[in-house]
Amino acid sequence: MSALKEAARRAVERRAEELIGLSERLHADPETAWEEHRAAATVPELLDRVGFDVTSSYLGLETAFHATFGSGPVRVALCAEYDALPGLGHACGHNLIAASSVGAALGLAAVADDAGLTVEVYGTPAEEGGGGKIEMLDRGAFTGVDLAMMVHPAPVDVAEARPFAVSHSKVAYTGKSAHAAAYPEAGVNAADAFTVAQVAIGLLRQQLPASARVHGVVTHAGDAPNAIPERASGRWYVRAETLAELAELEPRVMRAFEAGALATGCELTVEPESKPYAEFRADERALAHYRANAVALGREFAPPGQAARMNRASTDMGNVSQVVPAIHPYIGIGSLPATNHQHEFAAYCVGPTAQRALLDGALALAWTGVDRAASDGGAAG
Protein backbone atom coordinates (compact mmCIF):
# COMPACT_ATOMS: atom_id res chain seq x y z
CA MET A 1 0.00 0.00 0.00
CA SER A 2 1.27 3.47 -0.84
CA ALA A 3 2.25 5.90 1.88
CA LEU A 4 -0.55 8.24 0.82
CA LYS A 5 -3.19 5.54 1.14
CA GLU A 6 -1.87 4.52 4.54
CA ALA A 7 -2.03 8.14 5.70
CA ALA A 8 -5.59 8.40 4.43
CA ARG A 9 -6.48 5.22 6.30
CA ARG A 10 -5.10 6.58 9.56
CA ALA A 11 -7.06 9.81 9.11
CA VAL A 12 -10.33 7.95 8.62
CA GLU A 13 -9.70 5.56 11.50
CA ARG A 14 -8.93 8.45 13.88
CA ARG A 15 -12.38 9.86 13.18
CA ALA A 16 -14.26 6.55 13.06
CA GLU A 17 -16.32 7.14 16.20
CA GLU A 18 -17.29 10.64 15.07
CA LEU A 19 -18.31 9.37 11.62
CA ILE A 20 -20.43 6.60 13.14
CA GLY A 21 -21.98 9.14 15.51
CA LEU A 22 -22.84 11.40 12.57
CA SER A 23 -24.51 8.55 10.73
CA GLU A 24 -26.52 7.54 13.79
CA ARG A 25 -27.67 11.12 14.48
CA LEU A 26 -28.94 11.46 10.93
CA HIS A 27 -30.65 8.08 11.13
CA ALA A 28 -32.47 9.06 14.33
CA ASP A 29 -33.64 12.38 12.92
CA PRO A 30 -34.85 11.83 9.33
CA GLU A 31 -35.77 14.84 7.19
CA THR A 32 -37.36 14.58 3.77
CA ALA A 33 -36.42 16.28 0.49
CA TRP A 34 -35.75 20.03 0.69
CA GLU A 35 -36.46 19.95 4.45
CA GLU A 36 -33.03 18.70 5.61
CA HIS A 37 -32.20 21.83 7.63
CA ARG A 38 -30.72 20.02 10.64
CA ALA A 39 -28.77 17.57 8.48
CA ALA A 40 -27.35 20.35 6.31
CA ALA A 41 -26.02 21.99 9.48
CA THR A 42 -24.81 18.78 11.16
CA VAL A 43 -23.03 17.03 8.27
CA PRO A 44 -20.37 19.73 7.61
CA GLU A 45 -19.56 20.33 11.30
CA LEU A 46 -16.66 17.86 11.37
CA LEU A 47 -15.34 19.19 8.07
CA ASP A 48 -15.36 22.71 9.47
CA ARG A 49 -13.48 21.60 12.59
CA VAL A 50 -10.60 20.10 10.60
CA GLY A 51 -10.14 23.12 8.38
CA PHE A 52 -12.47 22.78 5.42
CA ASP A 53 -13.86 26.04 4.05
CA VAL A 54 -17.64 25.49 4.39
CA THR A 55 -20.31 27.42 2.51
CA SER A 56 -23.85 26.97 3.81
CA SER A 57 -27.02 27.57 1.74
CA TYR A 58 -24.81 26.84 -1.26
CA LEU A 59 -25.89 28.47 -4.53
CA GLY A 60 -29.01 29.78 -2.84
CA LEU A 61 -30.28 26.32 -1.84
CA GLU A 62 -31.01 26.38 1.91
CA THR A 63 -30.25 22.72 2.56
CA ALA A 64 -27.16 22.42 0.35
CA PHE A 65 -23.56 23.06 1.36
CA HIS A 66 -20.11 23.06 -0.21
CA ALA A 67 -16.84 22.39 1.64
CA THR A 68 -13.31 22.59 0.22
CA PHE A 69 -9.80 21.74 1.41
CA GLY A 70 -6.45 22.06 -0.35
CA SER A 71 -5.39 23.72 -3.57
CA GLY A 72 -3.99 20.93 -5.73
CA PRO A 73 -4.59 20.66 -9.47
CA VAL A 74 -6.81 17.53 -9.25
CA ARG A 75 -10.29 18.27 -7.93
CA VAL A 76 -12.08 15.33 -6.32
CA ALA A 77 -15.66 15.79 -5.12
CA LEU A 78 -17.59 13.66 -2.63
CA CYS A 79 -21.39 13.86 -2.71
CA ALA A 80 -23.20 13.71 0.63
CA GLU A 81 -26.88 12.82 0.45
CA TYR A 82 -28.92 13.08 3.65
CA ASP A 83 -32.63 13.23 2.79
CA ALA A 84 -34.95 10.50 4.06
CA LEU A 85 -38.03 8.83 2.60
CA PRO A 86 -41.52 9.96 3.61
CA GLY A 87 -42.92 7.44 6.07
CA LEU A 88 -39.83 5.19 5.90
CA GLY A 89 -37.05 7.28 7.40
CA HIS A 90 -33.55 6.35 6.26
CA ALA A 91 -34.68 3.22 4.43
CA CYS A 92 -32.26 4.01 1.61
CA GLY A 93 -29.32 4.64 3.91
CA HIS A 94 -28.56 8.26 3.10
CA ASN A 95 -27.26 8.64 6.65
CA LEU A 96 -24.44 6.29 5.64
CA ILE A 97 -23.87 8.11 2.35
CA ALA A 98 -23.33 11.41 4.13
CA ALA A 99 -21.01 9.93 6.76
CA SER A 100 -18.94 7.92 4.26
CA SER A 101 -18.47 10.96 2.02
CA VAL A 102 -17.35 13.05 4.99
CA GLY A 103 -15.01 10.23 5.99
CA ALA A 104 -13.53 9.99 2.48
CA ALA A 105 -13.02 13.75 2.46
CA LEU A 106 -11.17 13.58 5.78
CA GLY A 107 -8.92 10.85 4.42
CA LEU A 108 -8.15 12.84 1.30
CA ALA A 109 -7.61 16.07 3.23
CA ALA A 110 -4.85 14.35 5.20
CA VAL A 111 -2.90 13.79 1.98
CA ALA A 112 -4.17 16.68 -0.16
CA ASP A 113 -0.88 18.59 -0.29
CA ASP A 114 1.27 15.56 -1.05
CA ALA A 115 -1.22 14.11 -3.54
CA GLY A 116 -1.88 17.38 -5.35
CA LEU A 117 -5.59 17.41 -4.52
CA THR A 118 -8.35 19.88 -3.95
CA VAL A 119 -10.98 18.01 -1.91
CA GLU A 120 -14.59 19.09 -2.19
CA VAL A 121 -17.73 17.89 -0.43
CA TYR A 122 -21.11 18.73 -1.92
CA GLY A 123 -24.06 18.48 0.44
CA THR A 124 -26.76 17.46 -2.00
CA PRO A 125 -30.39 17.69 -0.82
CA ALA A 126 -33.52 16.10 -2.22
CA GLU A 127 -32.21 13.05 -4.03
CA GLU A 128 -35.48 11.22 -3.30
CA GLY A 129 -37.47 12.74 -6.15
CA GLY A 130 -36.52 16.39 -5.79
CA GLY A 131 -33.53 16.45 -8.11
CA GLY A 132 -31.26 18.38 -5.77
CA LYS A 133 -28.11 17.69 -7.76
CA ILE A 134 -29.82 18.83 -10.96
CA GLU A 135 -30.70 22.14 -9.32
CA MET A 136 -27.10 22.45 -8.18
CA LEU A 137 -25.78 21.66 -11.66
CA ASP A 138 -28.05 24.29 -13.17
CA ARG A 139 -26.58 26.84 -10.75
CA GLY A 140 -22.96 25.99 -11.57
CA ALA A 141 -22.00 23.23 -9.13
CA PHE A 142 -19.41 20.60 -10.11
CA THR A 143 -17.88 22.83 -12.80
CA GLY A 144 -14.29 21.72 -13.42
CA VAL A 145 -14.40 18.73 -11.07
CA ASP A 146 -12.08 15.90 -12.17
CA LEU A 147 -13.96 13.13 -10.36
CA ALA A 148 -17.25 13.04 -8.41
CA MET A 149 -17.96 10.06 -6.13
CA MET A 150 -20.28 8.62 -3.52
CA VAL A 151 -21.06 5.15 -2.20
CA HIS A 152 -24.64 3.98 -1.65
CA PRO A 153 -25.86 1.33 0.82
CA ALA A 154 -27.47 -1.79 -0.63
CA PRO A 155 -28.02 -5.37 0.47
CA VAL A 156 -24.78 -6.43 -1.28
CA ASP A 157 -21.75 -4.82 -2.94
CA VAL A 158 -22.10 -3.83 -6.61
CA ALA A 159 -19.47 -1.62 -8.20
CA GLU A 160 -21.19 -0.20 -11.26
CA ALA A 161 -24.34 1.90 -11.13
CA ARG A 162 -26.70 1.32 -14.06
CA PRO A 163 -29.74 3.38 -13.04
CA PHE A 164 -32.82 4.09 -15.09
CA ALA A 165 -33.58 7.57 -16.32
CA VAL A 166 -36.72 8.75 -14.53
CA SER A 167 -39.28 11.52 -14.50
CA HIS A 168 -41.24 12.50 -11.38
CA SER A 169 -44.67 14.10 -11.75
CA LYS A 170 -47.40 15.42 -9.51
CA VAL A 171 -50.75 14.49 -11.04
CA ALA A 172 -54.03 16.13 -9.97
CA TYR A 173 -57.64 15.93 -11.08
CA THR A 174 -60.29 18.52 -10.28
CA GLY A 175 -63.96 17.58 -10.49
CA LYS A 176 -67.08 18.67 -8.60
CA SER A 177 -68.43 17.56 -5.24
CA ALA A 178 -71.99 16.38 -4.67
CA HIS A 179 -73.95 14.26 -2.22
CA ALA A 180 -73.07 10.69 -3.17
CA ALA A 181 -76.55 9.31 -2.37
CA ALA A 182 -78.98 12.17 -3.00
CA TYR A 183 -77.42 13.95 -5.98
CA PRO A 184 -74.66 11.77 -7.42
CA GLU A 185 -75.41 12.91 -10.97
CA ALA A 186 -74.37 16.43 -9.99
CA GLY A 187 -70.83 15.34 -9.16
CA VAL A 188 -67.67 14.95 -11.24
CA ASN A 189 -65.60 12.23 -9.59
CA ALA A 190 -61.87 12.99 -9.39
CA ALA A 191 -61.10 9.66 -7.70
CA ASP A 192 -62.69 7.83 -10.65
CA ALA A 193 -60.34 9.70 -12.97
CA PHE A 194 -57.37 8.08 -11.22
CA THR A 195 -59.04 4.68 -11.46
CA VAL A 196 -59.42 5.05 -15.23
CA ALA A 197 -55.83 6.27 -15.56
CA GLN A 198 -54.40 3.38 -13.56
CA VAL A 199 -56.35 0.82 -15.58
CA ALA A 200 -55.04 2.44 -18.77
CA ILE A 201 -51.47 2.33 -17.45
CA GLY A 202 -51.89 -1.31 -16.48
CA LEU A 203 -53.01 -2.20 -19.99
CA LEU A 204 -50.24 -0.07 -21.53
CA ARG A 205 -47.54 -2.09 -19.76
CA GLN A 206 -47.92 -4.96 -22.24
CA GLN A 207 -46.70 -2.64 -25.01
CA LEU A 208 -43.84 -1.07 -23.05
CA PRO A 209 -40.19 -2.12 -23.25
CA ALA A 210 -39.38 -4.83 -20.73
CA SER A 211 -37.08 -2.50 -18.80
CA ALA A 212 -39.63 0.33 -18.46
CA ARG A 213 -41.17 1.08 -15.08
CA VAL A 214 -44.33 3.08 -14.37
CA HIS A 215 -45.46 3.40 -10.76
CA GLY A 216 -47.01 5.86 -8.38
CA VAL A 217 -49.29 6.54 -5.45
CA VAL A 218 -52.58 8.35 -5.01
CA THR A 219 -51.94 10.72 -2.12
CA HIS A 220 -55.46 12.15 -1.84
CA ALA A 221 -58.77 11.02 -3.27
CA GLY A 222 -61.61 12.54 -1.28
CA ASP A 223 -62.51 13.34 2.29
CA ALA A 224 -65.86 11.72 3.02
CA PRO A 225 -67.51 8.57 1.64
CA ASN A 226 -70.84 10.35 1.18
CA ALA A 227 -69.37 13.14 -0.95
CA ILE A 228 -68.24 12.76 -4.56
CA PRO A 229 -64.47 13.53 -4.47
CA GLU A 230 -63.87 16.85 -6.19
CA ARG A 231 -60.08 16.66 -5.96
CA ALA A 232 -57.61 13.81 -6.25
CA SER A 233 -53.83 13.96 -6.40
CA GLY A 234 -50.88 11.61 -6.73
CA ARG A 235 -47.19 11.23 -7.54
CA TRP A 236 -46.03 9.16 -10.50
CA TYR A 237 -42.64 8.02 -11.77
CA VAL A 238 -41.79 6.85 -15.28
CA ARG A 239 -38.46 5.06 -15.79
CA ALA A 240 -36.61 4.06 -18.94
CA GLU A 241 -33.10 2.98 -19.92
CA THR A 242 -32.08 6.43 -21.17
CA LEU A 243 -33.35 9.99 -21.29
CA ALA A 244 -33.99 9.52 -25.01
CA GLU A 245 -36.16 6.46 -24.37
CA LEU A 246 -37.90 8.27 -21.52
CA ALA A 247 -38.81 11.14 -23.84
CA GLU A 248 -40.59 8.66 -26.12
CA LEU A 249 -42.27 6.75 -23.29
CA GLU A 250 -43.53 9.52 -21.05
CA PRO A 251 -46.12 10.98 -23.52
CA ARG A 252 -47.73 7.54 -23.77
CA VAL A 253 -48.16 7.42 -20.01
CA MET A 254 -49.50 10.97 -19.95
CA ARG A 255 -52.21 9.95 -22.42
CA ALA A 256 -53.43 7.44 -19.82
CA PHE A 257 -53.89 10.29 -17.36
CA GLU A 258 -55.62 12.32 -20.07
CA ALA A 259 -57.97 9.35 -20.56
CA GLY A 260 -59.00 9.63 -16.92
CA ALA A 261 -59.87 13.28 -17.39
CA LEU A 262 -61.74 12.63 -20.62
CA ALA A 263 -63.78 9.75 -19.23
CA THR A 264 -64.89 11.59 -16.08
CA GLY A 265 -65.00 15.20 -17.20
CA CYS A 266 -62.33 16.26 -14.72
CA GLU A 267 -59.61 18.80 -15.32
CA LEU A 268 -56.08 17.34 -15.32
CA THR A 269 -52.94 19.05 -14.04
CA VAL A 270 -49.47 17.50 -14.35
CA GLU A 271 -46.51 19.24 -12.69
CA PRO A 272 -42.92 17.94 -12.82
CA GLU A 273 -41.33 17.56 -9.38
CA SER A 274 -37.89 18.02 -10.90
CA LYS A 275 -36.10 17.76 -14.18
CA PRO A 276 -35.71 14.14 -15.30
CA TYR A 277 -32.90 12.06 -13.80
CA ALA A 278 -30.42 10.80 -16.41
CA GLU A 279 -28.92 7.38 -16.89
CA PHE A 280 -25.43 6.94 -15.37
CA ARG A 281 -22.17 7.22 -17.29
CA ALA A 282 -19.52 5.53 -15.14
CA ASP A 283 -15.90 6.62 -15.36
CA GLU A 284 -14.14 3.35 -16.17
CA ARG A 285 -10.75 4.30 -14.74
CA ALA A 286 -12.20 5.34 -11.41
CA LEU A 287 -14.47 2.30 -11.36
CA ALA A 288 -11.46 0.01 -11.81
CA HIS A 289 -9.65 1.81 -8.99
CA TYR A 290 -12.67 1.52 -6.71
CA ARG A 291 -13.05 -2.20 -7.39
CA ALA A 292 -9.39 -2.84 -6.55
CA ASN A 293 -9.54 -0.72 -3.42
CA ALA A 294 -12.74 -2.35 -2.18
CA VAL A 295 -11.25 -5.81 -2.70
CA ALA A 296 -8.13 -4.72 -0.80
CA LEU A 297 -10.43 -3.87 2.11
CA GLY A 298 -11.95 -7.36 2.00
CA ARG A 299 -15.17 -6.44 0.20
CA GLU A 300 -16.74 -9.03 -2.11
CA PHE A 301 -18.86 -8.01 -5.10
CA ALA A 302 -22.11 -9.86 -5.68
CA PRO A 303 -22.77 -11.67 -8.96
CA PRO A 304 -25.55 -10.32 -11.18
CA GLY A 305 -29.03 -11.33 -10.10
CA GLN A 306 -31.81 -10.58 -7.68
CA ALA A 307 -29.57 -9.50 -4.83
CA ALA A 308 -27.60 -7.08 -7.01
CA ARG A 309 -30.52 -5.21 -8.57
CA MET A 310 -30.23 -2.05 -6.48
CA ASN A 311 -27.74 -0.68 -9.01
CA ARG A 312 -30.72 -0.09 -11.34
CA ALA A 313 -32.26 2.46 -8.95
CA SER A 314 -32.51 5.94 -10.42
CA THR A 315 -30.42 8.78 -9.01
CA ASP A 316 -29.76 12.42 -9.81
CA MET A 317 -26.07 11.46 -9.61
CA GLY A 318 -26.72 10.27 -13.17
CA ASN A 319 -27.02 13.89 -14.24
CA VAL A 320 -23.72 14.68 -12.55
CA SER A 321 -22.12 11.79 -14.45
CA GLN A 322 -23.20 13.33 -17.75
CA VAL A 323 -21.16 16.45 -16.94
CA VAL A 324 -18.06 15.25 -15.04
CA PRO A 325 -16.37 11.86 -14.52
CA ALA A 326 -18.23 10.01 -11.76
CA ILE A 327 -18.80 6.71 -9.97
CA HIS A 328 -21.68 5.59 -7.73
CA PRO A 329 -20.85 2.12 -6.34
CA TYR A 330 -23.11 0.25 -3.92
CA ILE A 331 -21.80 -1.11 -0.64
CA GLY A 332 -23.47 -4.03 1.12
CA ILE A 333 -24.78 -3.81 4.67
CA GLY A 334 -25.73 -7.50 4.97
CA SER A 335 -29.45 -6.79 5.09
CA LEU A 336 -30.93 -9.63 3.01
CA PRO A 337 -33.76 -10.48 2.76
CA ALA A 338 -34.45 -6.82 3.56
CA THR A 339 -33.87 -4.48 0.61
CA ASN A 340 -33.90 -0.72 0.09
CA HIS A 341 -37.07 1.24 0.83
CA GLN A 342 -38.27 -1.16 3.50
CA HIS A 343 -38.51 -0.49 7.23
CA GLU A 344 -36.33 -3.54 7.80
CA PHE A 345 -33.58 -2.05 5.61
CA ALA A 346 -33.69 1.18 7.61
CA ALA A 347 -33.00 -0.87 10.74
CA TYR A 348 -29.85 -2.28 9.10
CA CYS A 349 -28.52 1.22 8.35
CA VAL A 350 -27.21 1.40 11.92
CA GLY A 351 -25.29 -1.28 13.74
CA PRO A 352 -22.09 -3.27 13.19
CA THR A 353 -22.46 -4.14 9.49
CA ALA A 354 -23.53 -0.59 8.67
CA GLN A 355 -20.53 0.78 10.57
CA ARG A 356 -18.16 -1.45 8.64
CA ALA A 357 -19.76 -0.40 5.34
CA LEU A 358 -19.47 3.26 6.32
CA LEU A 359 -15.75 3.04 7.08
CA ASP A 360 -14.93 0.71 4.19
CA GLY A 361 -16.85 2.99 1.83
CA ALA A 362 -15.00 6.05 3.10
CA LEU A 363 -11.62 4.35 2.66
CA ALA A 364 -12.40 2.90 -0.76
CA LEU A 365 -13.48 6.34 -1.99
CA ALA A 366 -10.46 8.06 -0.43
CA TRP A 367 -8.06 5.58 -1.97
CA THR A 368 -9.80 5.98 -5.33
CA GLY A 369 -9.23 9.72 -5.04
CA VAL A 370 -5.52 9.08 -4.38
CA ASP A 371 -5.40 6.85 -7.46
CA ARG A 372 -7.05 9.51 -9.58
CA ALA A 373 -4.58 12.13 -8.39
CA ALA A 374 -1.69 9.84 -9.28
CA SER A 375 -3.05 9.00 -12.73
CA ASP A 376 -3.89 12.63 -13.48
CA GLY A 377 -0.48 13.90 -12.43
CA GLY A 378 -1.30 15.36 -9.02
CA ALA A 379 1.36 13.31 -7.28
CA ALA A 380 2.77 9.81 -7.12
CA GLY A 381 0.41 7.29 -5.52
What's the pLDDT score for residue 313? Answer: 87
What's the pLDDT score for residue 54? Answer: 98
What's the pLDDT score for residue 375? Answer: 87
What's the pLDDT score for residue 306? Answer: 67
Phi and psi at 173, nearest 5°, equal -115, 140
- pLDDT digits (tens), the chain, 381 positions: 599 999 999 999 999 999 999 999 999 999 999 999 999 999 999 999 999 999 999 999 999 999 999 999 999 999 999 999 999 999 999 999 999 999 999 999 999 999 999 999 999 999 998 999 999 999 999 999 999 999 999 999 999 999 999 999 999 999 999 999 999 999 999 999 999 999 999 999 999 999 899 999 999 999 999 999 999 999 999 999 999 999 999 999 999 999 999 999 999 999 999 999 999 999 999 999 999 999 999 999 998 876 677 888 899 999 999 999 999 999 999 999 999 999 999 999 999 999 999 999 999 999 999 999 998 865 543
CATH 3.40.630.10 in the chain is located at 3-163+279-375
> 133: which residues sit within 8 A by CB, 6+ positions away?
79, 122, 124, 127, 141, 316, 317, 319, 320
CATH 3.30.70.360 in the chain is located at 165-272
The class that CATH gives domain 3-163+279-375 is alpha beta
Q: Using CA atoms, how far apart are residues 237 and 165, in angstroms rounded to an integer?
A: 10
Would you say domain 165-272 falls under CATH 3.40.190.10?
no
